Amino acid sequence: MTHVFPPFDPEKPAEARKDRRRRVFKRGPVPVRILIPSMFTLLALCAGLTAIRMAIEHRYDVAIAALVLAAVLDGIDGRVARLLKATSRFGAELDSLADFVNFGVAPVIVIFTWALGETKTAGWIIVLIFSICMALRLARFNVTLDATDQPVWQGNFFVGVPAPAGALLLLLPLYVENLGFAKISTLTPVVLAYTLLIAFLTISWVPTYSGKSVGQRVAREYVMPVFLCGALFVALLLSYPYIVLTLGSLAYLAVIPVSFLSYRRQEKRAAEKVKSQNGSSRRSKEQPDDASRPHA
């Protein structure tokens, strides 16, 4: 019997293809757990597209909320995939495409309709540069996904500002204006320069903290405080969104130099360790053993 839709094949990575369980996905029904991470990705994509519509309608508060939701869902889908052991090449490609729409297209539509519409060509060129930088960053990230030769400590850092953070950082001028400090939307040169700065940070080689090693395990006595802090953060974000987003964006920008220095220190420490190991191994090779030494 010929079906209208082709059979779904998530195409597991090469290592998983050697596993006999691969045959289950190829010939039998697909487990629901394989679909769950992609559902989170599609929900994030819906949020990003909704942000574009809200920007066109000049409902920037809803647009920002949709982008924050997309960033949260983007952080969840990968962890859910690893938790359920449902990682696949299909999910990785879908996540990358959704990230470009959510963080490479939606935020520039917001910033263009908010502050750069009057500049017409100049503003459009700047937002195009941001989108291109985001596409290049995501392509570079996909290429390095299968890299296994990097040290463990490098897994604690991103190369450049990650896509969700870059999208939320781009909207910092909008957060500040909604706090009532200044009419930043009229300061077009400032918005243009800031957009270029964030664009170049996304494709730069500046190391930034990834946070992957944070929160993997929590001591039992800290479980309840973690719950309380999480609930407090959500309550503050919902009650005072622009204050929280402004402080969070400024804190992230301030931490970038710290992460750069931390990366350099760890890189230097790793280089010294490798150098000492090579020196000790060289000395052990040059020194003859007892059997080869001449006897008196």
Q: How confident is the model over 107-156, as pLDDT tens digits?
A: 999 999 998 888 878 899 999 999 999 999 988 887 776 665 677 777 77
Strands 157-159 and 207-209: antiparallel
Instruction: Check if CATH label 1.20.120 holds for domain 31-144+151-271.
Output: yes
Note the pLDDT of residue 68. Answer: 95
Domain spans in the chain, listed from the N-terminal domain onward: 31-144+151-271
Q: How much is the pLDDT for 88?
A: 79
Q: Output 177 or 214, whichever has higher pLDDT.
A: 177
Distance CA 224, CA 205 (A): 38
Count of Cβ atoms closer than 10 Å to residue 233 Cβ: 12
Question: Is 147:170 a contact under the CB 8 Å cutoff?
Answer: no
Kindly report the average pLDDT of the chain as a whole number: 82
Report the candidate in 170, 172, 135, 140 with the shortest Cα–Cα distance to residue 158: 140
> Is residue 246 within 8 Å of residue 178, measured between CB atoms?
no
154 against 71, higher pLDDT = 71
How many residues are recorded in the chain?
296
Q: How far apart are alpha carbons 155 and 270 in whole angstroms?
A: 14
**pTM score, two decimals?**
0.80
* pLDDT computed for residue 57 by the predictor: 94
138 near 100, Cβ under 8 Å?
yes
Asked whether 77 and 88 are in contact (CB, 8 A), the reply is: no
* pLDDT tens per residue, range 11-26: 555 454 444 444 444 5
Classified as helix, coil or strand, 158 is: strand
**Residue 264 reports pLDDT greater than 80:** yes
